[in-house]
Copies of this chain bind each other. A is one copy, B any other.
Amino acid sequence: MKKPGSHKNLLNSVEKAKVISVKKKMKTEKCFQYLAETFKAMSDPTRAKIIYALCQEDELCVSDLSSIIETTNSAISHQLRNLRNMKLVKYNKVGKMAFYSLDDKHINNLFAEGLRHVEEK
């Protein structure tokens, strides 16, 4: 008979002590989801380029971003919307132009750490 409430109880563990210890240190489901989302924000080449460009210049408009990244305004605009939803960029509308900038200052460190990792290979 199975113990109710946990389809995988500790009795089956190979190294019980380790399992219990790590389980105790585990973060919440929500935390891991948010963590995954944060990484996902930078997990597409186009978005990575946008973030990198905005690390070099405080503000850039959509068409200049597409000049830099060499893709269509539409593709950039769609990705900027994603980044906006993830609260990574904000924008400033001036006339018909939209100037985007990084919203989340922590993202700078995270991105730089990723870049360091890539370039150390």
Contact = CB atoms under 8 A, between A and B. Distances in A.
A45 interface: yes
A40 to B, nearest CB: 4
Given A32-B45, A56-B21, A113-B110, A14 B97 contact: yes
Contact of A22 (B32, B42, B68): B68
Interface in A82-120: 97, 106-107, 109-110, 113-120
Nearest to A18: B57
Contact of A53 (B22, B38, B106, B121): B22
A18 B37 CA distance: 30
B8 A39 contact: no
